[in-house]
Each structure stands twice: as structure tokens, then as C-alpha cells.
Amino acid sequence: MSTPPASALSYACGVADRPLLGETIGANLRRIADRHGDRTALVDLTHHARYTFEELWAETGRVAAGLHDRGVRRGDRVGVWAANRHEWVVLQFAAARLGAVLVTLNPTYQTAELAYALAQSETSLLLHAAWFRTTDCRQVVADARERCPLLRETIVFEEGWTDLDGDLSAVERCESEVDFDDPVAIQYTSGTTGRPKGATLTHHNLLNNGYTVTSAIGFTERDRVCVPVPLFHCFGMVLGTLGASSHGAALVLPGGTFDALRTLEAVAAEHCTAVYGVPTMYLAMLEHPDVADFVHDDLRTGLIGGAPCPPDLVRRIRTELHVPELSTVCGMTETSPISTQTLPSDPVRARDGTVGRPAPHVEVKIVDPVTGLTVPVGAVGEQCTRGYGVMAGYWDDDAATRESISPSGWMRTGDLAVMDESGYVTLVGRLKDVIIRGGENIYPREIEELLREHPAVSDVYVIGVPHERYGEQVMAWVRLRTGAHAVADELAEFCSGRISRSKIPSLWRFTDDFPATGSGKIQKFRMREIAVAELGLGESASPALPHQQPTSV
């Protein structure tokens, strides 16, 4: 819930019915283990591992002691490079108890990407899987290590995990020196332009975001949440791990990477009350031929985010997957991650068509991207957010931090959005994704939502590609439903009369897949690169909107 804008300007602040947690992640886990020790804390279906909170507390102590015995101290960076598994979660808590900083690494990284992140963060100890799909991770680490002079030791989960052990009293001494404002994680951005940047996040950032977002959907110790989203991303390690643990709820990992059937099976077998996913994951579950066999009455809520959520998809998840209390969340890694959220009590039009209102304790405003001035209600501008979730900064990159966070604490999100008079935020697109065709600003999301209404279309993404006369032209990448058939002319005709002619795509590409990050976010810049190369269009057009720093954010 949030207050309505105090004036005609696009500003709202999330109203809180409970205070923030003033404790470290380790202290919170200890408190929950004392209260709910015999309740299930973690289930890893792939590796057949189960922990109660009492067992999880003991295991994190053992691993923390083993890390300490290997020289890990407060502030040291410990890397984790693996798909979802129970050891990942244990390590997250163990590092936090020592006051170490967990560097979360995308398991799809290749040698250069891994080496860059390890070297830039000055990681001293790395834990990783032996294999990821067909990749020999040990060989990749060996190749990357040559560029990481400060990486003194690596541990393979399948070989050295059980050997971690040490003096538990040393862990207790370390815990007494950890402050909740200390950094606890470094997460690298996708790196769509230039080198990835490491968002530095604190105990206070992450614990409170996980706690408040899941509080808003009614989490208690009776909940069991299925988390197929990757742990290396905030969605998994914050809303999943900490969102569950801070309420004494169970975290269920259906597999290392997302698989629709495996996720549906986990929801049913573990009697999950909640399930998470990005839109493409939910769509894959809905389109699985056996989905009806796994819809379970225990399932009541869930979180969807990580990409724009089409209204029709939100409605289908609520009804066909039996997730009546589905909540749309929106944010970014740099805000820990969630800034806005829809609630089950919101009007249907808000639940279907917006990303909600500011989350508790969070401020949101919409500004002119050039002047930085707050725009009137109903006007398009860049969304900015302020509050407990804003990161400490980019690791070892003060210049990038200053560009992103204003002196008054506002984080620029890069999202183009509109706020209504009740404080609900509707995303229009990304600053860098706006298409300028002959001087007209075209917002891809409007076209995407229209095309998704066509019965043959499963999913669609719209981009701008260079055009000699107009500067840019509109292109649609379309995935059709299984067994469906449609051609470009038919889809163009479907758009005719519904949107202006200038917005109707002039180029179409039918595909079975879209370029995406390891966390499931669609990479429109890659679509643009592919289109430019395939169509021989030459260099990209100018940026859609000016990217000057605002003067008064």
C-alpha cells in the first residue's frame, strides 16, 4: 500500500505496517531457527537434500567454520559459480555469518566473463560446480585463474564440500563483529553496454527486501515456495532464500535450471503454496501439455517479475495455474531488487496492467530524463527510487555510482513509466528501447501487448532497427503458439485500426526463442544486433532519448 501523490506530481511513498528488520542475515536465521527449528527450511529435489531450520543453522555454521579455517574474514570476497543447489543456499548464509561478501556468478559465464568478475571483485576463494550442462567448469576456472592473481583457492562442490570444517567458536566471534550495514553480496549487472558493474548490497538491503515483499503476500511459517529462478540473481537469493527464511517458510528448489515440467511436479509433490517466475517461465508452464495434472489447491500466491508482464498472462496465471494472489514485482539489482509491487487487494485493473505501487518504506518518483524534474501525474518519464534498498554502490567504481545515484539518494532505474493519481506505476518501456521513427517516440510495449492478443501469438518483442529515411523502423520478433500459423501480413492487418500506421512493424522475424540473460531477461540489444547483421542495415541509429544526467533528481 502507498500514499497517493501529495500533489499533481508523480511521487508516492510505500506505507508500511511493520518496521524494517535491524539485524544481520545471520542473526535473523538464528532467531528463526530458535523459533521454527523443526520446520522444513530447504528442499533440493535434484540432489535429494532436505534441511530443517535447526539443521540449516548447524550446516551453515560448519561451512562458515571451514571458510574461516581457509582464511576468510569480514569483508573478504567469496565467489559462488553454480546453478541452483542446496550448497548455494548454505554458502549464502555461511558467508553472511562470517561477514564475508558473496560474489554471485552466472553459471553460463565463459572464461573471459568469469575472469573479469573474479578479478574486478578481488575474490579470494571460489566455490563452484564440477559441470554446468556440457561445460567443464574446472577447466574454465583453471583458464580464468591465470587472470586472477588474488584468487588463492577454489573448491569444487562435488569434491571438497564435505571437507569444510573448523572451529565454530571462531564463527561466533566473527558474527559479533558483523554490522547489518556491511556489504554481503556483489551481483554483476548483465553488461548490455560495456563491462558489467558489481552492485554492492548490504545485509540491510537484502534481508529487508526479501522480508517486506513476501510479507505483502502473506508469507508465514506455513508457506512453501517453489523457486525455479536462478539463485545468482536477486530474484532467487533475496525474494526466494531470504523471503522464505525470514518468515520460517520452506524454500523448494525444483532443479538446477528452469524446466517447466520439473517445476510443476515440484509444486504438486511438495504441496507448495507459492511459485516464482519471470514471464517466460510462467508461459512455459501454462503451455506444457500436462499442466492440468499438476495444478494444486495448496498453491495460492507467487511473484512474477524480471520483465514486462502482459496483462493476459497475469490473468492466465491467476486462473489456469491457480495462483489467485499472484503479485507483480518490479525493480532492479541495484535496489535489492523490488521497488513496486501489486497486492491481492488491489483493483483488478491495477493487478493486470501495472507494476503496483511503491513497496513499504520505498519512495518512487517519475522524472523528466533530461531535466530531472518530477513530471505531473500521467506523464511519461524515468522512474527513480529511494529507500533502504538502494545499493551501497558499484564495487570499486565510484564514477558509475555517482552517475546512477544522486546526492539525495535517488537511484535512476532507466525505466520509462507513468504514475496515476493513486500511485500505481505503469511501465512504458526502457529509455534505451524507445524507437524514434521520423521524430515520433514509439514505445514497444504498446505494440507487444496488442500483438499478444492475436490467438496465434505466444510471445512477441518489438525493437527499433536503423532506417535510412526515418532513422529507425519497427521490427517484431514473434513466437507462435504450438500448432498455430500466421504470416506477417496477417499480423500487420491485425494491428491496423488498433494502433497508428507508424507503429505497425514493417519488419517481422518468426522465431522459437529469444536472446536472454541467465536470469531469463530478454536481451533486446542482442535482437537489434542480430537484425542489423542479418538485414545488412549497418550501424545502429541514435539513442532514442537523451541520456544526460538529471539536474535535480
- Which residue, among 184, 174, 203, has the nearest Cα to 20 in the 3D structure? 203
Q: What tens digit of pLDDT does each residue of 97-128 get?
A: 999 999 999 998 999 899 999 999 999 999 99
Contact 445, 427 (CB under 8 A): yes
Which band of pLDDT confidence, cut at 50, 70 and 90, is reported for residue 454?
very high
Q: Is the pLDDT of residue 472 over 80?
A: yes
For residue 474, the model assigns a pLDDT of 95
Amino acid in the structure at residue 138: R
Q: How far apart are the first and last CA of the chain?
A: 24
And the C-alpha cell for 72?
576468510
Contact 98, 174 (CB under 8 A): yes
Q: Where does residue 536 fall: left (phi above 0), alpha (psi -120 to 50 degrees), or beta otherwise? A: left
Q: What letter does residue 242 receive in the DSSP assignment?
A: I
Report the chain's mean pLDDT, rounded to a whole number. Answer: 92
> Class of the 52-178 domain?
alpha beta
| DSSP structure string for 258-269 | --HHHHHHHHHH
Residue 470 CB coordination number (10 Å): 18
Q: What tens digit of pLDDT does each residue of 482-534 get?
A: 999 999 999 999 999 888 888 999 999 999 999 987 777 788 989 999 999 99
> How far is the CA of 42 from the CAs of 39, 65, 237, in angstroms?
10, 21, 13
And the C-alpha cell for 364?
518512487
Q: Is the pLDDT of residue 545 over 70?
A: no
Please report which helix (H) or strand (E) contains residue 33, including its range. Answer: helix 25-36
Which band of pLDDT confidence, cut at 50, 70 and 90, is reported for residue 438?
confident
Domain ranges of the chain: 52-178, 436-535
Superfamily of domain 436-535 in CATH is: ANL, C-terminal domain (3.30.300.30)
Q: Name residues whose C-beta falls within 8 Å of residue 178's C-beta, 6 or more positions apart in sequence.
A: 24, 26, 74, 96, 97, 98, 99, 203
| Mean pLDDT, range 466-483, rounded to an integer | 90
3-state secondary structure of 219: coil
Contact 125, 78 (CB under 8 A): yes
For residue 280, the model assigns a pLDDT of 87
- Give the C-alpha separation, 95 to 40, whole Å: 21
Give the phi and the psi of residue 22 in degrees, each rounded to 5: -100, 60
- Pairing verdict, β 125-128 and 153-156: parallel
For residue 552, the model assigns a pLDDT of 33
- Pairing verdict, β 198-202 and 393-394: antiparallel
Which band of pLDDT confidence, cut at 50, 70 and 90, is reported for residue 5?
very low
Give the phi and the psi of residue 8 in degrees, each rounded to 5: -80, 5
- Give the C-alpha separation, 170 to 163, whole Å: 17
* C-alpha angle 179-181-184 in degrees, rounded to nearest 5: 85
And the C-alpha cell for 276?
516464482
| Mean pLDDT, range 440-445, rounded to an integer | 83
- Give the C-alpha separation, 94 to 72, whole Å: 11
Which band of pLDDT confidence, cut at 50, 70 and 90, is reported for residue 542?
very low
Q: What tens digit of pLDDT does each residue of 310-366 get?
A: 889 999 999 999 999 999 999 999 999 999 999 999 999 999 999 999 999 999 999
- Give the C-alpha separation, 500 to 506, whole Å: 13
- Give the C-alpha separation, 116 to 194, whole Å: 12
3-state secondary structure of 383: strand
Q: What letter does residue 307 receive in the DSSP assignment?
A: S
Q: Name residues whose C-beta falls within 8 Å of residue 224's C-beta, 6 or more positions apart in sequence.
A: 40, 249, 250, 252, 270, 271, 272, 273, 274, 298
Amino acid in the structure at residue 483: G
For residue 541, the model assigns a pLDDT of 39
Q: What tens digit of pLDDT does each residue of 143-183 get?
A: 999 999 999 999 999 999 999 999 999 999 999 999 999 99
CA 312 to chain centre: 21
| DSSP structure string for 47-94 | TTEEEEHHHHHHHHHHHHHHHHHTT--TT-EEEEE-SS-HHHHHHHHH
Residue 120 CB coordination number (10 Å): 20
Instruction: Output the CA torsion sign for 496, 530, 260, 88.
Output: negative
Give the phi and the psi of residue 331 in degrees, each rounded to 5: 180, -155
Q: What tens digit of pLDDT does each residue of 194-224 get?
A: 578 999 999 999 999 999 999 999 999 999 9
Amino acid in the structure at residue 67: L
